[in-house]
Structure 1
Amino acid sequence: MHKEIDQLISWLQQSNDFYLNEKVAVKNIPNEGKGIVLLDGQIRRNEIVISIPSTHQINFNSVLYHISKFNSNINVPHITHSGEEQDKISHMYDEPRVKAYNIFTTESLLKMSSFQLLSLYILAEWIFLPKWSSNTIDSYWKPFFNVWPKIDDLKSIPAIWENSNISQYKLLLPFLTSDSENHCQRLNNLISHDWAVIQPILEEWLLLFDIQYNIEDVYEDYLHVYFIINSRCLYSEIPLKKEDIASKFTLVPYVDFINHSAEMDRFCFPKIEYTHANISDVGQFVIRGGPYTYKIPNEQILFNYGPHSNDFLLNEYGFTLPTNSWNYLDITYIINDIIGNDNDVTKYLKTNDYWGEYTINQDGFNYRATVALSLFVTKDYQRVDKLILGYMSEDYFANKIVNITTEILNNLLLEYQQKNDALINLDTYNETDPCFYNLSNIYKGHVDMLTDVKNKL
């Protein structure tokens, strides 16, 4: 991989606006894959670590720009390509992307989401182009593609177990926690929806070009590409997608080697900056040092992906943290099941907007859960009114609901202990396999959290 990283840096150096701090480099991190580490010296607050120009980012705007090189009918003011180079390329009959991209109209591209357009474009440039050209044409993005993870590197993601026809981990789906199962289902729905949009285009390409490739294989590559995007996308304003929050992201080479820290506002932070070299109205993606000063050789350069639980990290990125202070459990289904047959309590909670969204985290049951359980146990509507309005403390109800909260905690503890035991007893169990390890780590994290909460009651 050293060769590929060197080639990536050489490609990035084509832009005078690329900057890589000489004090950092990519290295293998035990049990974490690749990461960026400090070589020597110090990285201080606001010091630039990496700066990537818009010319080397993949996002909705830059994809339109590159597609328009091969289709002169694609016209989005201030975004798409124009000029002599476009005319020259459009008359190159041996350039397969002219034929492939000429099935698009400006309208058909603009109505796609970022996930749809980027999945389609990356499949074209990374997977299809070598087949279309018999490996004679390289994509502009090839140095970026070459350092992306293989599908096996993403094997821990539950939605891949669910959707891939060749995944060997489908047997682990019943072992997902309720939070992971719900998250996985949300991703499944997005994957299916986006595939329905781009599948007809992919099938048209298969008809246009005589290559040994079928739609079932394309779908496996689509899953690979989808989760490369999903696990590496970084927030960025995309002018053409102002109303679509889910489409406001960009893929940034080299920056995507930075690993996650659970700590907020301590390590490095991303910032979008604007320079004369920006294309397609997307800014320079800059990583700057945070409050923490790096000064220990081989120390990892980190930033926070967000306040995410291990269930979230597993489903979105395919990893978990050994300890994670952001772990929580959604217990809405449990409390709804307990109080759902009490029509008066249910009506009151719905009327006052306290129905649902019940969770447990390291601090205990959230306020909404405390309100719901306090009303269910005491039927004291007047005091619960005061609790909601802030005129009464939760402490008044603590002893009154301790039995029901303890029962909930004990049931959850038993569930996760039994699931972990069942996982370990599988014939295929392998503690060094990240798919097994991550599930077990989630169970252990929840057991530790629930035990701490129970001890505080």
Structure 2
Amino acid sequence: MGRTGRKRAKYLHQRPQPLDHQENAINLRKFMTRNGFHDPISLKLRNFPDTGRGVATPRSLKASDVLITVPYELMITYTTLKKSNFLHLFAPQSRLSILDLLAAFLVVERGKETSFWKDYIKSLPPQPPWIPALLSQDRVELLPVDLRLAAKKSRRLLEESWSRVRKSIREASCVIDLHSFIWGYVLVNTRAVYVNPRIVRKLCDCQSDILSDEPCMALCPFLDMFNHSHEAKTEAKLINENGKLVYQLTTLGKTKKHEQVFISYGDHDNIKLLVEYGFFIPGNSNDSIPIQSEEVFQVLGLNLDDFQYKFIRSHELDKSLCISEAGVSFNLKAFLFVAFGTTDLKHLTSVIYNDDYPKKFLEHYLVQLCLRLLQFHLKELEKILQNSGLDPHIIDFLEYRKLLIQKLCDLVNKQ
């Protein structure tokens, strides 16, 4: 799933521009309508200043309104791959993921003179959407540690996918090369939706073929026009309608007339959104400032005894450390209490897992320790922002994160 390119806040007051008159949009709708696509709301494509291309409603929506119904045959699923000759491009002993295969399928179909999917493919961006994994190695090294690690992991997964596909192709005339595969991979990774793999498996035999994982990803034309919001309330699933399998999107909340209709990709923080989809959302309720365990030792000058160290490691309290508007994460609070609390060490487990922390620790020690960690992150960000080699998308994100840290400092001070 995915959209790219959240625009800067200074453009928020510009009006959305209609896109339905564009040739690619017209051809996509014609292609889908003649193949059973149902759009009961007559949704409109718009270019929104803050989110880019998206979907608007011409009338007010109420909970339970069906937004679109897409026939299963109009989705690119593992069934699509099995019914075509596509899988014959690969050696029989190949072991490829559903993401590998969908990415390669897009590239192959784009290279054909005639393709059933041509109108859908022409509606896709001609270049891969921006994500941090596509930055040069030297630019990735400029990023904060959590974003840097996530971008490197994303890049590694892309390279491993390409390596599997490249080694498995058995036809020399195949149009897939690294550049085109990156396009397909990023589009699938940012736009694919979840489909129930049990349903897909019933429709095609996956037991003795090259698929290495579950056939749980699919591309759904028009659905990928919707943008993400962490506040969106929709439901999308495969259902049987009048004897035919369809993918139906239903709203679970209200939307005012002419407003953009959003879907949710899941409860993702901004690091996840930026790395996977290429955008972030100011005010994201899932966002936080991640704290590395090494930073806790470095910033706070920790010198743990053997018991404290083993307790933290055995209870995995050195993982999932963060500070958010909701407060200090369970593990970070426990980590700091083990290191700085004055309670008898024999009663650590009882205090931590019953959330029975001493008042002095909560109101004094915890506040001061968290402030020091946040101020460390603030200084590190300011150093990074002084670098002229940063990508504009990254600058926007870091400026947002700087404001978030300052806000968290204020909230911690008020506790």
Fold-level match, TM-score > 0.5?
Answer: yes
CA contact (8 A) 2:45 2:56 kept: yes
- CA distance in structure 2 between the partners assigned to 1:276 and 1:339 by the alignment: 65
Q: C-alpha offsets along residues 329-354 of structure 1, whole Å, 9 cap, x if unaligned?
A: 22133235554754321101223343
Q: 1:226, CA displacement in angstroms? A: 0.7
Q: Which sections of structure 1, spanning at least 5 residues, go unmatched? A: 69-73, 75-100, 130-136, 163-169
After the TM superposition, which residues 329-340 of structure 1 pair with which residues of structure 2 at under 5 Å, given as runs? 329-333=289-293, 334-335=295-296, 339=302
Q: 1:103, CA displacement in angstroms? A: 5.2
- Residue 21 of structure 1 corresponds to 40
Q: Is structure 2 residue 69 aligned with structure 1 residue 51? A: yes
Q: 1:244, CA displacement in angstroms? A: 7.6
Q: Which sections of structure 2, spanning at least 5 residues, go unmatched? A: 1-18
Correspondent of 1:415 among 361, 370, 380? 380
Letter matched to residue 115 of structure 2: S
CA contact (8 A) 2:53 2:225 kept: yes
Letter matched to residue 116 of structure 1: D
For the structure 1 residues 415 and 113, does the alpha-carbon distance in structure 2 shift closer, same or farther, using more than 3 Å as the test? Answer: same
CA contact (8 A) 1:38 1:296 kept: yes
- CA distance in structure 2 between the partners assigned to 1:173 and 1:383 by the alignment: 44
- Which SS does the other structure have where 1:34 is aligned? strand
- Residue 363 of structure 1 corresponds to 326
For the structure 1 residues 391 and 189, does the alpha-carbon distance in structure 2 shift closer, same or farther, using more than 3 Å as the test? Answer: closer
- Residue 81 of structure 1 corresponds to none
CA contact (8 A) 1:53 1:277 kept: no
Structural RMSD (CA): 2.8
Q: C-alpha offsets along residues 291-312 of structure 1, whole Å, 9 cap, x if unaligned?
A: 22x2322x00012211212211
- Residue 392 of structure 1 corresponds to 356
Q: 1:159, CA displacement in angstroms? A: 0.4
- Residue 271 of structure 2 corresponds to 311
CA contact (8 A) 1:371 1:387 kept: no
Percentage of identical aligned residues: 19
Q: 1:435, CA displacement in angstroms? A: 4.9
- Which SS does the other structure have where 1:175 is aligned? coil
- CA distance in structure 2 between the partners assigned to 1:255 and 1:394 by the alignment: 51
**Which structure has more helix as a fraction of its residues?**
1
- CA distance in structure 1 between the partners assigned to 2:342 and 2:152 by the alignment: 36
- Which SS does the other structure have where 2:84 is aligned? helix
- Residue 454 of structure 1 corresponds to 412
- CA distance in structure 2 between the partners assigned to 1:151 and 1:45 by the alignment: 36
CA contact (8 A) 1:234 1:250 kept: yes
Letter matched to residue 158 of structure 2: I
Q: 1:185, CA displacement in angstroms? A: 2.0
Aligned residues: 381
Q: Mean Cα displacement is larger for which, 111-120 or 379-388? A: 379-388
CA contact (8 A) 1:416 1:447 kept: no
Q: C-alpha offsets along residues 6-51 of structure 1, whole Å, 9 cap, x if unaligned?
A: 11111112323x2112441111111422100012x22221111111
- Residue 284 of structure 1 corresponds to 246
Q: Mean Cα displacement is larger for which, 225-234 or 408-417? A: 408-417
CA contact (8 A) 1:268 1:301 kept: no
- CA distance in structure 1 between the partners assigned to 2:65 and 2:270 by the alignment: 30
For the structure 1 residues 104 and 391, does the alpha-carbon distance in structure 2 shift closer, same or farther, using more than 3 Å as the test? Answer: closer
